[in-house]
Amino acid sequence: MRAGIALLAATAGCFGAGPTPSKPSDATVLFAAPVPSTDQRCSSSVYIGAVAFGAQLGYAALLPYSPNNCGGQSASATQAPIMQFDKTGATPHGQMIGTATAQTQGSNALPRIVATATGALWAYNANNGSSITVDPGGLQTNPSNPGGFVAPTGLVTDGASVYVAGWSPPSGRAEVDNPQYPCCGPSNGSGGTYSFTRLPGPTQLAITPHFACETTHDCLVSTSSSLYYLEHEDGGANGIRVSSFPTAGTKPSDAAVIAPLDPASGLVPVGLAADEQRVAWALSIDYGAVVGASPGCQIWEYDVAAKHADRVLSTTRFSCMGLALDGDTAYFAIVGAAQQDDCNGCTVPIHGYGLGRVTAAGALEAIALGLTDLAAGPRRVYLDGDDLYAIDPLAIARIAKAALVGRQDFTP
């Protein structure tokens, strides 16, 4: 399996001749982003942004980006396809079921998707205003439209309601799924605008967190009774914390701080997950802020009943991104800066080297994927029964959890 799982090659330009899909031998490719011809790569390249998984189908947003050596195209509105695919791998090219307004790289205006019992919902900012649209149905988070611009940065559901986190942060590199990350994220020196809404309604929740989503895809997750989120400390301070708010909450005092993240560690949040018993978060280095930083990864688990957090993994042997919970076991992607000698000054992209899991007792199993192409490899993981879904910038693959049993390809 080690050499067989090649999800996709890197992007073009500084990363090589161009993306070239390859068939994994021990994984099933469920969905692959379309690869443009060489003469179209600067205008037609897309990567996989938000994803969601239902009982039989998966969903993905295809987002535009401009590869290196394409002239640094500026952000402009476009209609991003919302794709549906079969979880068996029978339809790897997918079927478009809708569109959502998105931006080219350099903007935080990226759609979000959540699976429901009957399909999927997706959220986006349709007109650069302060209201977020949720389709199908065209629900609005702020129909009267006062205030500043916000785009969705989180979308979750408890079955009865949908919760939409909005932001227009003062700074950050929000496109962690972009093949070029940490290159080319947004830079906005103005103050941030945030929103937190329940639909149908809309009902503005009693709190408006300053969501801290700059370095992670998921900064809002939910269970049947609680919302968990990453937020900047009060007053926009540099500190970040994990907090919660009950879905039945009606007043600001219903919010609770789960744990502050230690700024002295020099690590930033790169993953968040929760179930009814535990909340977990992953910390790693900030690739966009520190060039040539040494690797680092910490995984923390918080026992909801005991109200106590433990660090279950701490290593400087590798870095990590993404997080998913399976009981007391946390799954994550093992990543690092790609090894590249001929980049001609461009930012070295993130490379997915493997997958790992660690128990609450600290037992680690990890498998190397044997990828060789720049910017390839998973940066996010999701779980489904006996399988995990590995999300590469250009492909989604299903791998059996059992593939990690007894593997020690990486050690802490």
Residue 279 maps to which CATH number? 2.130.10.10
**Backbone φ and ψ of 39, nearest 5°:** -75, -5
Asked if residue 2 is part of any domain, the answer here is no
Residue 352 maps to a domain: yes
pLDDT exceeds cutoff 50 at 8: no
pLDDT band at 348 (very low <50, low <70, confident <90, very high): confident
Q: Is the model's pLDDT at 2 over the cut of 80?
A: no
Identify the sign of the CA torsion 117, 122, 123, 126: negative
Please give the mean pLDDT across all residues of the chain: 85
Better pLDDT: 199 or 263: 199
| Residue 176 identity | V
- pLDDT, residue 365, reads 98
Q: In this structure, how many other beta carbons lie within 10 angstroms of the beta carbon of residue 153?
A: 29
Per-residue pLDDT reduced to its tens digit, 248-261: 999 999 999 999 99
Indicate the pLDDT class of residue 77, thresholds 50, 70 and 90. low
Domain count, the chain: 1
Distance CA(86)–CA(102), nearest Å, equals 24
Residue 7 banded pLDDT, cuts 50, 70, 90: very low
Q: Name the pLDDT band for 9 (thresholds 50, 70, 90).
A: very low
Is 34 part of a structural domain of the chain?
A: yes
Reported as a single tens digit per residue, the pLDDT across 183-216 is 755 544 445 789 999 999 999 999 999 999 989 9
Q: What percent of the chain has pLDDT over 90?
A: 63
Q: Would you say residue 14 has pLDDT above 80?
A: no
pLDDT value of position 72: 55
- Judge if the upstream peptide bond of residue 202 is cis by omega within 30 degrees of 0: yes
Is residue 86 situated within a structural domain?
Answer: yes
- The C-alpha R_g of the chain, in whole angstroms, comes to 20
Amino acid 1: pLDDT? 32
Alpha carbon 171 to its chain's center: 17
Q: Mean pLDDT, to the nearest integer, of 72-91? A: 81
Q: Which residues, including other chains, have CB under 8 Å from residue 234's CB and lie 6 or more apart?
A: none
Q: State the CB neighbour count (10 A cutoff) for residue 307.
A: 10
Vertex 165: Cα angle to 355 and 328 (nearest 5):
35
pTM for the structure as a whole: 0.90
Residue 376 lies in domain: 13-404
Would you say 273 and 226 are in contact if contact means Cβ atoms under 8 Å apart?
Answer: no
Residue 314 pLDDT > 90, yes or no?
Answer: yes
- What residues form DSSP beta bridges with 155? 164
Q: Which two tokens stand for residue 270?
A: 């790169």
Top-confidence residue, 159 or 70: 159
In a domain, 6, yes or no: no
Q: Is residue 7 part of a domain?
A: no
Q: Give the pair of three-digit tokens for residue 54.
A: 């239902």
pLDDT digits 0-9 by tens, 269-306: 999 999 999 999 999 998 877 667 789 999 999 999 99
| Residue closest to 215 by CA, chosen among 270, 255, 278, 275 | 270
Considering the domain boundaries, does residue 411 fall inside one? no
Instruction: Quote the pLDDT of residue 235.
Output: 60
Q: Structure tokens of 239?
A: 């500190």
Residue 193 included in any domain: yes
Please compute the mean of the pLDDT values over residues 67-74 and round it to a whole number.
Answer: 62
pLDDT score of 173: 56
User: In sequence order, what DSSP letters do the residues of 227-287 get, joined into one string?
Assistant: EEEEEEPGGG-S-EEEEEEETT--SGGG-EEEEEE-GGG--EEEEEEE-SSEEEEEEE--T
Say how far apart CA 100 and CA 124 lie, in whole Å: 6
Confirm if 392 and 24 have CB atoms less than 8 A apart: no
pLDDT of residue 191: 54
CB neighbour burial string for 388-401, b if at least 16 within 10 angstroms, e if fewer: bbbbbbbbbbbbeb
Strands of 278-284's sheet, edge to edge? 268-274, 278-284, 297-303, 308-315
Put the strands of the sheet holding 380-384 in their side by side order: 28-32, 395-400, 387-392, 380-384
Contact (CB, 8 A) for 257 and 229: no
